[in-house]
Amino acid sequence: MAPWEVWTYDFEDEQTHPIVIFSNTVRVQNAHLERVNVLLCTTMRGQKHWNPKPHEVILDTADGLDWPTRCRCDALYYVPKTKLRERRGIVSIERRRAISQTLLRFFPFTV
């Protein structure tokens, strides 16, 4: 398990979806830290219009997914590592940049 990997997670309210791990390497690899931050993704299978909303980045086969998939960058989920299943791939460098920029727009850091 590593940052930027795409896995499957069974959310209680949201059902089963792909997720992107968005925790740092220390948190991901430390067995004593039981949870990681993730971004919820939703597949766009069968949808005709793929225009992302301002808080979304589109992932696809280059990221290990079978279909175009919306990665939501307006909320982080803190989930147990033990419930992540089925590693699907890893987010491409270009999409990592897009996700990071989108997150900064929705979670601005001010000093």
Angle at 13 between CA 39 and CA 11, to 5 degrees: 50
pLDDT digit string (tens) for 3-40?
Answer: 999 999 999 888 999 999 999 999 999 999 999 999 99
pTM: 0.91
CATH 2.30.30.110 correct for 5-106: yes
Looking from the CA of 16 toward its CB, the CA atoms found within 13 Å total 6
**pLDDT tens digits, residue range 51-71?**
889 999 999 999 999 989 999
Q: How many CB atoms lie within 10 A of CB 57?
A: 25
Which residue, among 55, 49, 57, 47, has the nearest Cα to 18 in the 3D structure? 57
Torsion of CA 35, 98, 64, 90, to 10 degrees: -50
